[in-house]
Amino acid sequence: PEVYIIILPVFGIISESVLFLTDKERLFGQTSMTFASIWIAVLGTSVWGHHMYTAGLDIDTRTYFSAATMIIAIPSAVKIFNWLGTFFGSHQKLQPLLCWTYSFIFLFTCGGLSGIILSAASLD
């Protein structure tokens, strides 16, 4: 669960980086970005049990934690979609901040996809 809380400041840094790189005043879907951050923090507190799949949890408990882990992908996808939507239509020059921002979005996407795959593994 700590990873969901630790990543919240980075969401702000990425959002500010996207705004700086695109010279736009607002993020695409700024309200949904706010709600997505709140839901990531709220859902992050209920997903702590996904670290204990091997601790002998019964099938109902494993199903709950698997579902909660999968549901956290929805607000995460909203954030990724809105960051990329903000980039749409703007022209960027290759610079370190742009590379860092794109690499974070890519790695955050890969981490989310691996989280979905691993959360489904406990139900096999």
98 or 48, which is more confident: 98
CA atoms within 13 A on the CB side of 107: 9
Confidence of residue 124 (pLDDT cuts 50, 70, 90): low
3-state secondary structure of 90: coil
What angle (nearest 5°) sits at the alpha carbon of residue 40, between those of residues 34 and 44?
Answer: 155
Asked whether the predicted pLDDT for residue 7 surpasses 90, the reply is no
81 or 44, which is more confident: 81
pLDDT recorded at residue 6: 81
Q: How far apart are CA 24 and CA 90, in angstroms?
A: 9
